[in-house]
Structure 1
Amino acid sequence: MSVYNELRLEQQLCDAVIRVGSTRFPVHKIVLCNCSPYFQALFTNWSTQERQVFDIPNVSSDVMKIIIEFAYTAFPAVTPENIQESFIAAHQFNVMGLIQACCSLLEDQLSPQNCIGIWRFTDFYYTPELTHKAFLYTVTHFEEVASTSEEFPLLSVQELVKIIENDHLNVKQEKTVFGAILCWIGYAAQERREHISLLLSNVRLALTSPQFITNSVRNNELVLASSECHLILSRALEAMHDLNINKLSKTIYYNRLSCPRLSPTALLSFGGRRGGYSTDVIEAYDTRADRWVSVSKYGAYIPRAYHATVFLDGAVYCVGGFDNSEWFSSVYRYDLVTHTWTEVKQMHRSRCYVSVTVMDGYIYAMGGYNGRHRLKSAERYQPRNNQWTLIPQMHERRSDASCTNLRGKVYICGGFNGNNFLSTAECFNPETNQWTRIASMDQIRSGVGVIAYADKVFAVGGYNGISRLNTAEAYNPDTKTWHAVPSMLACRSNFGIAVIDDRVFVAGGYSGSSTMFDVEYYDAETSEWSGASSMKVSCSALSCCVVHGLPNMVDYSAPRLMQCSDADEDKME
Structure 2
Amino acid sequence: GGREIPCHRSVLALCSLYFNAMFTGDFVESISARVEIKEVEPVIMETLIDFAYTGKLTINQKNVEALIQSSKLLQFTTVQKVCTRYLQQQIDHTNCLGIYEFGEVYGCPEVKVKARSFLLENFEAVSQSEEFLQLESDRLLGCLGSELLQVQEEQSLVEAILRWVKYNEAERSRFLPELFQLVHLPLLTVEYMRDHLLHEKVIQECELCRSTIENYQEKTKAGTAVQRHLPCLKKLQEVLVVIGGRAMEESDDEEDEETPMLSRNAGFYNNMIRRWLLLPDFPDYNKWGFSVVALNNDVYVTGGSRGSTHDTWSTTQVWKFDSKEGVWVPIAPMLKPRTNHATAVLNGEIYAVGGIRAGITE
Tell me the TM-score normalized by structure 1: 0.47
Report the equivalent of 1:99: 80
Which whole-Å CA distance do the structure 2 matches of 1:78 and 1:61 have between them?
16
Q: Whole-Å Cα distance in 2 between the matches of residues 112 and 310 of structure 1?
A: 28
Bigger relative contact order, structure 1 or 2, given CA contacts below 8 A and separation 6+? 1
Contact 1:76/1:101 (8 A) holds in 2: no
Name 2:320's counterpart in structure 1: 336
Q: CA deviation at 1:360?
A: 8.2
The CA deviation string for residues 334-358 of structure 1, in whole angstroms up to 9 with x for no partner, is 623444599x7678xxxxxxxxx95
Give, as a single letter, the amino acid of the residue that structure 2 aligns with 1:269: V
Question: Shift of residue 384 of structure 1?
Answer: 5.8
Tell me the secondary structure at the aligned position of residue 81 of structure 1.
coil
Q: What stretches of structure 1 of length at least 5 have no aligned partner?
A: 1-19, 321-325, 348-356, 362-381, 389-573
C-alpha separation in 1, matches of 2:209 and 2:167: 20
Within a 5 Å distance, the mapping from 1:310-389 to structure 2 comes to 311-312=292-293, 315-316=300-301, 335-337=319-321, 338-339=328-329, 386-387=356-357
1:199 aligns with 2:169: no
Q: Does 1:60 align with 2:34?
A: no
Q: Which residue among 242, 259, 283 is the counterpart of 2:233?
A: 259
Alpha-carbon distance in 2 for matches of 1:39, 1:288: 59
> 1:159 matched to which residue of 2?
139
Q: Which moved more, 1:91-100 or 1:41-50?
A: 41-50
Contact 1:316–1:334 (8 Å) recurs in 2 = yes
Judging changes above 3 Å, is the alpha-carbon distance between structure 1 residues 285 and 260 closer, same or farther for their aligned structure 2 residues?
A: farther
Distance in 1 of aligned mates of 2:31 and 2:268 = 68
Distance in 2 between residues matched to 1:331 and 1:286, nearest whole Å: 32
Equivalent-residue separation in structure 1 for 2:291 and 2:187 (angstroms): 31
Which residue number corresponds to residue 268 of structure 1?
241
Judge conservation of contact 2:50–2:56 (CA < 8 Å) in 1: yes
Q: Determine the C-alpha separation between the residues in 2 that align with 1:178 and 1:46.
A: 59
Shift of 1:135: 1.8
Q: Secondary structure at the match of 2:196?
A: helix
Q: Structure 1 residue 120: deviation in Å? A: 1.1
Contact 1:167 1:261 in 2 (8 A): no
Structure 2 counterpart of 1:335, which letter? W
Distance between the aligned counterparts of 1:123 and 1:291, measured in 2? 42
More helix by share: 2
Cα offset, 1:289, TM superposition: 7.5
Q: Secondary structure at the match of 1:111?
A: coil
Tell me what 2:262 maps to. 279
Q: Could you tell me how far apart the structure 2 residues matched to 1:180 and 1:146 are?
A: 6
- Aligned equivalent of 1:24: 4
- How far off its partner does 1:273 sit? 5.2
Q: Which amino acid counterpart does residue 43 of structure 2 have in structure 1?
A: D
Matched, 1:145 2:126: yes
Tell me the SS of whatever aligns to 1:218. helix
Q: Which has the larger radius of gyration?
A: 1
Q: Of the candidates 208, 211, 220, which is equivalent to residue 228 of structure 1?
A: 208
- Verify the 8 A CA contact 2:150 2:234 in the aligned structure 1: no
Distance of aligned partners of 1:210 and 1:120 in 2 relative to their CA distance in 1, 3 Å threshold = same
**Measured at CA, do residues 119 and 273 of structure 1 come closer, stay the same or move farther in structure 2, by a change above 3 Å?**
same
Q: Which moved more, 1:131-140 or 1:43-52?
A: 43-52
CA 1:199–1:346 in 2, change beyond 3 Å: closer, same or farther?
closer
User: 1:139 Cα shift?
Assistant: 2.6
State the identity as a percent.
21
Contact 2:239 2:271 in 1 (8 A): yes
CA deviation string 1:305-350 (max 9, x = no partner): xx99852486347989xxxxx9x999897623444599x7678xxx
Give the Å deviation of 1:88. Answer: 2.0
Q: 1:121 to 1:317 in 2, by over 3 A?
A: closer
Count of aligned positions: 318
Q: Under a length normalisation based on structure 2, what TM-score does the superposition of the two structures give?
A: 0.72
| Residues 162 and 79 (structure 1), Cα distance of their counterparts in 2 relative to 1, 3 Å cut | same
CA displacement, residues 473-514 of structure 1 (integer Å, 9 cap, x when unaligned): xxxxxxxxxxxxxxxxxxxxxxxxxxxxxxxxxxxxxxxxxx
CA-atom RMSD, angstroms? 4.1
Aligned equivalents of 1:172 and 1:291: distance in 2? Answer: 20
Question: Which region of structure 1 is more displaced relative to structure 2, 174-183 or 98-107?
Answer: 98-107
Contact preservation (8 Å) 1:201, 1:232 = no
Q: 1:213 aligns to what SS in structure 2? A: helix
Q: Which is richer in strand?
A: 1
Shift of the 70–384 alpha-carbon distance from structure 1 to 2, 3 Å rule, reads farther
